[in-house]
């Protein structure tokens, strides 16, 4: 009986001492010696940087580079011909970019509000994937094909969701490196002014409050 008690006391003492050792290692070890916890970061957002805004401002008042490009409607779209009808809005799209997808609903609304205003998308793929993109996101205006990113480079565009407004004199009136609620409000006011229309009431509740760009092009 005494032998069993002695064994039990020995086991208990081992457990207690071991527990104290573990407690000391956890609580008394210097903080800098402990391994850092693993933190899983969420994907970086596409908030427009000050550098991007500066580069966009530098594009304003420059002559818009002429082009003749095929589009999803099967026609070749020439800048000089489009400008004879008035100002032109170019919306830069990258296939597979979530920001392009999120922005499209607002540009659809602007097109519906100002049907007399010339709008063209510019996408970095050939005609069939461009048509699928247009169908998927209910785009009713033509999308110009730019698989070699020639227009992307010519117009100082870095990412998708850039927007370029060209006035009827062929100069870059505005150059936005992304979209946001304030940017869309500004664009809405300009389109109304340029067409002599009443400014449309847009639902911008889902638009970002800060200027967001899209995915970078492979330049």
The pLDDT, as a whole number, for residue 188 is 98
The model's pTM is 0.79
117 and 26 assigned to the same domain: no
The stretch 176-194 carries a mean pLDDT of: 97
* Percent over 70 (pLDDT), the chain: 79
The stretch 184-194 carries a mean pLDDT of: 97
Q: How many domains does the chain have?
A: 2
By residue range, what is the domain housing residue 22? 2-33
The stretch 105-111 carries a mean pLDDT of: 97
* Percent over 90 (pLDDT), the chain: 77
The pLDDT, as a whole number, for residue 82 is 96
The answer as to whether 201 is a domain residue is: no
The stretch 131-151 carries a mean pLDDT of: 97
Q: By the 8 A CB rule, do 214 and 152 touch?
A: no
The pLDDT, as a whole number, for residue 199 is 96
Contacts made by residues 197-203, CB under 8 angstroms, sequence distance 24+? 197/113, 197/114, 197/116, 200/109, 200/110, 200/113, 200/114, 202/106, 202/109, 202/110, 202/113, 203/109
Q: How many residues does the chain have?
A: 219
The answer as to whether 99 is a domain residue is: yes
90 and 138 assigned to the same domain: yes
The stretch 11-38 carries a mean pLDDT of: 41
Gyration radius from the chain CA atoms: 29
The stretch 34-39 carries a mean pLDDT of: 33
Q: CA 215, CA 116: separation in Å to the nearest integer?
A: 30
The answer as to whether 159 is a domain residue is: yes
Q: CA 176, CA 182: separation in Å to the nearest integer?
A: 11
* CATH code (residue 110): 3.40.30.10
The pLDDT, as a whole number, for residue 45 is 60
The answer as to whether 147 is a domain residue is: yes
97 and 16 assigned to the same domain: no
The pLDDT, as a whole number, for residue 150 is 97
The stretch 15-24 carries a mean pLDDT of: 43
∠ CA(72), CA(73), CA(74), 5° rounding? 90
Average pLDDT taken over every residue of the chain: 85
């Amino acid at each position: 009986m005494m032998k069993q008690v002695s064994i039990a006391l020995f086991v208990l003492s081992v457990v207690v001492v071991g527990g104290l050792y573990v407690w000391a290692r956890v609580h008394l070890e210097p903080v800098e010696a402990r391994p850092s916890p693993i933190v899983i970061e969420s994907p970086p957002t596409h908030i427009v940087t000050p550098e991007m805004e500066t580069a966009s401002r530098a594009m304003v008042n420059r002559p818009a580079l002429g082009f003749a490009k095929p589009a999803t409607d099967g026609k070749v779209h020439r800048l000089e011909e489009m400008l004879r009808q008035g100002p032109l809005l170019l919306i830069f799209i990258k296939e597979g970019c979530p920001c392009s997808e999120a922005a499209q609903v607002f540009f659809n609304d602007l097109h519906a509000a100002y049907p007399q205003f010339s709008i063209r998308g510019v996408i970095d793929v050939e005609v069939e994937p461009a048509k699928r993109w247009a169908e998927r996101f209910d785009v009713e205006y033509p999308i110009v094909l730019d698989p070699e990113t020639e227009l992307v480079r010519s117009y100082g565009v870095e990412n998708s969701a850039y927007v370029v407004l060209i006035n009827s004199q062929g100069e870059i009136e505005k150059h936005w490196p992304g979209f946001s609620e304030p940017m869309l409000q500004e664009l809405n006011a300009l389109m109304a002014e340029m067409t002599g229309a009443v400014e449309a009431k847009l639902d911008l509740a889902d638009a970002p409050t800060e200027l967001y760009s899209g995915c970078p092009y492979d330049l």
